[in-house]
Amino acid sequence: MPVVHSSTAPAFTMHNATFTGLAAPSRGARETCVWRTELTPGVEGQAHSLTREEVLVVLSGGAVATVDGTEHDLTEGDALIVPPRTAFALANPHERPCTLMAVLPVGGQAVLPEGEPFTPPWAR
């Protein structure tokens, strides 16, 4: 069973957020991708959807999730379940970073508005 140490996991930056890839096919996972996301303070959300269900758990800080046009305040310990093909965005209007853990089935893809589905690098 492979171990991915967070200190050596690949990190990617996109839309004022940092994504640290923990479990993905390139790191030994066969069915589930897991990554840590850090939203910088004051960041606005980037609208997108996914082809598969995604679950996000707030580890520290807080965020505002807009799911299908409805805003939801998220705080430490909260879980957000985003259905497939549902528009959503995560914003951090707070003064401290927000750290989340994200889980997506292998093969799940992101879709930006008016774009083609793609596999984010942290989930490859």
Q: How far apart are CA 24 and CA 119, in angstroms?
A: 11
- 98, 92 contact by CB (below 8 A): yes
**Which tokens in the block code for residue 66?**
């807009």
Q: What pTM, to 2 d.p., does this model score?
A: 0.94
End-to-end Cα spacing for the chain: 18
Q: Give the mean pLDDT of 39-58.
A: 96
Label residue 15 by pLDDT band (50, 70, 90): confident
Sign of CA dihedral 39, 45, 48, 54: positive
